[in-house]
Structure 1
């Protein structure tokens, strides 16, 4: 429990306070654009550290790694501060769009993310998931969740894009993560509620 608390504090610090602090330190010396690029480094390095620490490349890790690479690419092309912020938010929207496009597949992307999680729990849990997805209820469950997450991530992108134009950069860096985490929290809460309502695995 203590270790979990420290991990949570570290993650919140790296993803919320560190970007704002880096921007505040660099902006007077180098301007908005370079300061904004520098503010993206702490969460990117933290995500890479977590991937290396886990030492396992599964579907979840691939999504995280894809987000990191897309964010790096968006930052590397440069541009105005607003454009950099918009590109970074576009990564979340792109992932949401990929979720929705995966509905065209026999098994949507969310199923593969769930399979990666169940595989960590052992062979019995993975087999239970396979039995569930083979039922009509299981197929419908993952398709509904895919719509929820795809639409939710695109909505998050729309809200963050609006805030880019509404708030100064410093306020955006400090407050927008709370909104982002709040939306993700609602998506997870909706997932757990729906899972219980249909008595899924």
Structure 2
């Protein structure tokens, strides 16, 4: 498995904070202060940077990326929700409906033969490469690999449920400008914590199993 590029990750995080945190706060403040539009209209406008970023990503890669698909799906769901008479406060936590649903799905999938973590992990490791997908699928035969996938699914399931609950509480207790400023920090703080826990767990797992198979299988193969 290739190691992630730290500079690329930092750059991606900075861009995400700008698009999903800084720009929405500026747009909302300008529209409500100087254009005197309603909170709901201003909040709808804050989704424009994310929409543009997703469209640019689709054009650049000539396909709907996993994350871009989530953003677009969230925007579509939000527009449908608003058209049915949703409130501005509920619109604030539109992403949390998705992350919360993902978290619940992760926890529920632990009771199935292959949890959601297997499929999301395969996407990020193998992409659309048939050989990598085949290699990733073959790893499922090892008990220690299955345990690792279920642990990662648990981390992300519990973490994203916590994120959804916390942001939901903030959305209904904080002033909207304050929520727009703090929400991305909370979101990335929780996601970052999940990533750190996952990385440390993976390091220990790799030291024990060399990232491929358990000690018993390795000894049998080299005997």
**Same fold, judged at TM 0.5 (above):** yes
Correspondence 1:17 to 2:30: no
Alpha-carbon shift at residue 187 of structure 1 (Å): 0.8
Higher share in helix: 1
Q: Report which stretch shifted further, 6-15 or 131-140.
A: 6-15
Correspondence 1:112 to 2:119: yes
Where does structure 1 differ by over 6 angstroms across 4 or more consecutive aligned residues?
A: none
TM-score normalised by length of structure 1: 0.83
Report the equivalent of 2:217. Answer: none
Correspondence 1:32 to 2:32: no
Correspondence 1:70 to 2:77: yes
Q: Gapped runs of 5+ residues in structure 2?
A: 213-223
- Bigger Rg, structure 1 or 2: 2
Distance (Å, rounded) in 1 between the aligned partners of 2:200 and 2:128:
21
CA pair 91-164 structure 1, distance change in 2 beyond 3 A: same
CA pair 69-146 structure 1, distance change in 2 beyond 3 A: farther
Q: Report which stretch shifted further, 190-199 or 60-69.
A: 60-69
Alpha-carbon shift at residue 149 of structure 1 (Å): 0.7
TM-score normalised by length of structure 2: 0.76
CA pair 183-169 structure 1, distance change in 2 beyond 3 A: same
Q: 3-state SS of the aligned residue for 2:114?
A: coil
Deviations 1:18-71 (A, max 9, x none): 111111122242121111111122223323332432334576665555444434
Correspondence 1:188 to 2:195: yes
Distance (Å, rounded) in 2 between the aligned partners of 1:60 and 1:33:
25
Q: 3-state SS of the aligned residue for 2:138?
A: helix
Deviations 1:96-119 (A, max 9, x none): 122223224321121111112222
Instruction: Report if the CA contact (8 A) 1:58-1:116 is conserved.
Output: no
Q: Gapped runs of 5+ residues in structure 1?
A: none
The two structures, once aligned, show a CA RMSD in angstroms of 2.8
Distance (Å, rounded) in 2 between the aligned partners of 1:147 and 1:59:
20
